[in-house]
């Protein structure tokens, strides 16, 4: 009884600490944002900030552009990550080094990739300078500040994370499926299209959703290089730090948070087998 009682106390303590940490790091900040978004110095409690955010063409168009941009880059990232994920999942040559490289991605914030894009493709970046020396041209100068440069920065952190999600599913895939397909005379293309991709569909969907949601909240890269597109989190940052529009910035943050929650709820309801929500996903 003493050992069982000690384990019970330990579990209760762990649960209590988890609740406290969650309240301190999530619920309390969100509650503060909600209060700020609903108050006005002159009018008191008001929904004016939400009317501006949800009806203003600038804010709505930037949100739509951000969602479209993140969806497209996430889809591209999943496609590019598939070969790397296959190498990691099947344990091919260099798979360990490739896995470590992808895991290192979690140690860097998105702003690191923004700095990398600037170092490589900025106006005084390595590639424009080398191009000028070797070819006396300036085609790559300023590439970092285009939407293609921004997409390249996003793909830098999207691809490794997508690869790890897909690789986990590949590791758990039944190899007998591929052997059976070969026995029936299927070639490599047929195996890939008719066996591997359908089997990995939940993992591919989960990688896309995770990458998309992560990208929607990222602003480090866009803060440094976004010139051709208004990224929603960057607007929140500028409204808060640049213009001191705390009510507007808070309303935008709450709206973005609710949108992400809504997306997750819709996906969970309509795609319960998605690996992202599976109780068996590790």
* Burial category of 48 from C-beta neighbours within 10 Å (exposed 0-12, middle 13-18, buried 19 and up): middle
| Cα atoms in the 13 Å half-sphere on the side-chain side of 121 | 20
pLDDT digits (tens, 9 = 90+) for 3-51: 555 676 777 777 778 777 777 777 778 888 888 899 877 767 888 999 9
pLDDT digits (tens, 9 = 90+) for 156-193: 999 999 999 999 999 988 888 888 988 888 888 888 88
Residue 108: the pLDDT is 81
Residue 13: the pLDDT is 74
Q: In whole angstroms, what separates CA 255 from the centre of its chain?
A: 18
Helices (H) and strands (E) in the chain, counts: 14, 2
The three-state secondary structure class of 45 is: strand
273 band by pLDDT with thresholds 50, 70 and 90: low
* Six-digit token string for 265: 């709820």
- Average pLDDT (198-208) is 90
Q: Which fold has domain 56-277?
A: MetI-like fold (1.10.3720)
pLDDT digits (tens, 9 = 90+) for 82-138: 999 999 998 888 889 999 989 888 888 778 888 889 999 988 889 999 999 998 888
How far apart (Å, rounded) are the C-alpha atoms in residues 227 and 145? 6
Q: Which DSSP helix (H) or strand (E) runs through 39? A: strand 39-40
Cα separations in angstroms, 143 against 65, 126, 225: 20, 12, 9
63 band by pLDDT with thresholds 50, 70 and 90: very high
For residue 26, the 8-state DSSP code is I
Computed over every residue of the chain, the mean pLDDT equals 86
* Six-digit token string for 72: 């497209």
Cα separations in angstroms, 277 against 12, 61, 206, 222, 282: 26, 31, 9, 30, 11
Residue 276: the pLDDT is 59
Residue 280: the pLDDT is 39
Residue 281: the pLDDT is 40
């Amino acid at each position: 009884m003493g050992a069982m009682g000690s384990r019970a106390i330990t579990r209760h303590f762990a649960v209590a600490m988890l609740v406290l940490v969650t309240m301190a790091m999530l619920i309390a900040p969100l509650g503060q944002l909600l209060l700020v978004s609903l108050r006005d110095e002159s009018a008191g409690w008001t929904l004016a900030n939400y009317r501006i955010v949800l009806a203003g063409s600038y804010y709505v168009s930037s949100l739509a552009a951000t969602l479209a941009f993140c969806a497209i880059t996430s889809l591209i990232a999943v496609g590019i990550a598939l070969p790397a994920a296959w190498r990691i999942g099947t344990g091919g040559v260099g798979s360990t080094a490739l896995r470590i490289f992808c895991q290192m991605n979690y140690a860097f914030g998105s702003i690191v990739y923004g700095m990398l894009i600037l170092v490589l493709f900025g106006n005084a970046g390595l590639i424009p300078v080398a191009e000028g020396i070797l070819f006396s041209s300036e085609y790559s100068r300023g590439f970092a500040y285009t939407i293609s440069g921004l997409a390249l920065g996003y793909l830098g952190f999207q691809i490794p994370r997508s690869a790890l999600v897909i690789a986990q599913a590949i590791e758990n895939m039944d190899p007998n499926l591929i052997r059976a397909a070969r026995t029936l005379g299927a070639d490599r293309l047929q195996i890939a299209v008719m066996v591997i991709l359908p089997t990995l569909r939940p993992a591919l969907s989960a990688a896309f959703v995770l990458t998309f949601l992560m990208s929607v909240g990222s602003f480090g890269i866009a803060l440094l290089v976004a010139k051709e597109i208004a990224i929603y989190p960057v607007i929140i940052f500028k409204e808060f730090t640049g213009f001191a529009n705390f009510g507007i910035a808070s309303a935008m943050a709450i709206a973005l948070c609710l949108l992400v929650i809504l997306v997750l709820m819709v996906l969970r309801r309509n795609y319960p087998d998605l690996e992202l929500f599976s109780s068996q996903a590790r």
